Structure formats: structure tokens, C-alpha cells
Amino acid sequence: MTVLKIVLIGDGGVGKTAIRERYLGHGFKAQYLLTIGADFAMQDSTIAGESIRFQIWDLAGQQRFDAVREVYYKGSVGALLVYDVTRPDSYFNTPKWINELWTHNGRGRVPIVVVANKIDMRELSDDTVSPEQGRVFTERLTNLTKPEGFTCNYIETSAKTGVNIESAFSLLGENIIRFVNRQRKTSRRITARLQSRPTQRTIPKYRKA
């Protein structure tokens, strides 16, 4: 079984914990629960015919936890980047979260699924982030990741109704598997190339006594 460490990132209150709980089969709770530093859970799944185990790290979004979060990024191979469609500020803060992830995970650029959450509340608000804004942002993000051999995805979810929660994790898992397999192939090619090179021996020059 392949173990994949992933992180849920985004501003506080955008629904990261609710998304995780819904994915784990715990249902939806209306009250807001503040995550202190980070919370951890595991979930087994089958993606693209491969058995995987997600190590899910739900990272606190409040600014006072900025320094604490850094250690939890280490070793992560992907992320769900969540914003609240009824809070444009959480959308405009997404570049900050990408920078944190790619700076502190120890791997650089890794797959991301951009998650526009709380779509069940979009019609109740006058100031919302449109699907087009989310797609355009994700396309720009993909332009940065294509040289690394992977794309990023955009998906709209509702932790309250459960819409697309499973799909968000499946998309991320598929991208990570392709990303990791590509890295392995590249590593094997480099190793084979190095091993095929003839060993060069340095012949010492003759020195007169």
C-alpha cells in the first residue's frame, strides 16, 4: 500500500475540517471548530487501481499559527487548497498558501487541487467568487506546474451536502500517483545513465627520483 501525505490548506473558517470529516464519513457539523496547529487523520482508498493510504494533515489557517504550520508541511506530496466562495478574501489569499506549501514541504512544487467550498451558500451572498475566477486561477497555476510534469485541478464542493468531496480527494490522489511515478522513472533513468558510463581511471604521471 502506498502512503501519501497530503495537507488541507487555506484560510481559517473555509471548511477544511468539515471537508476532511465528510470524507472520513463523519457527516457534517454546522458549528465552527477551530483547528489548533494541525489535526491528523488517515483514510484508505483505491485510486487508479492502486491501494493508497492518505495521511491527511488539516492545517490551522489563522495567522497566529504561521510559524507552527511550517513543520507540518514537511514530506507532503500534495494538497487540497480550499477557499470559501462567499469570502473573496480567502480566494485572494490562495497564493500565500501555495508559497508556504512549496517552500516548506522539502519537495518543491507538488500537485494541488483548488477547492471552491460552500457552493451551497453562493446564492445567499451578494459577493461571491465565480467558477470562472476559480478556473482561470487554476489554469495559471497549471502553467507553473507543467514543467514538473503535472497539472492542477479545480473543483467546487459543499462539505454540508457532500457534493464532490470524494472527487476532490480522488483527483488529488490521481495527480500525486502520476507525479510520484514520473519522479521514479526520472530517477531510474539518471541512475542507469550514470551506471552505464565507463569508469575513468587516472594514471599517475611518472616522476623522476
pTM of the entire structure?
0.84
The answer, yes or no, to whether residue 191 has pLDDT greater than 60, is no
DSSP string, 174-187: HHHHHHHHHHHHHH
> Residue 42 corresponds to which cell in the numbers above?
488517515
Tens-place pLDDT, residues 142-152: 999 998 888 99
In a domain? residue 75: yes
- Average per-residue pLDDT in the chain? 87
Total of domains in the chain: 1
Do residues 128 and 156 lie in contact, with contact meaning Cβ atoms separated by under 8 Å? no
Smallest Cα–Cα separation from 79: which of 120, 51, 108? 108
pLDDT class for 203, splitting at 50, 70, 90?
A: very low
Hey, which bits of 60-141 come out as E strands? 78-84, 112-117
Tens-place pLDDT, residues 57-77: 999 876 666 677 888 999 999
In a domain? residue 89: yes
In a domain? residue 207: no
Q: Which domain holds residue 150?
A: 2-196
CATH code at 148?
3.40.50.300
Separation of first and last alpha carbons in the chain: 65
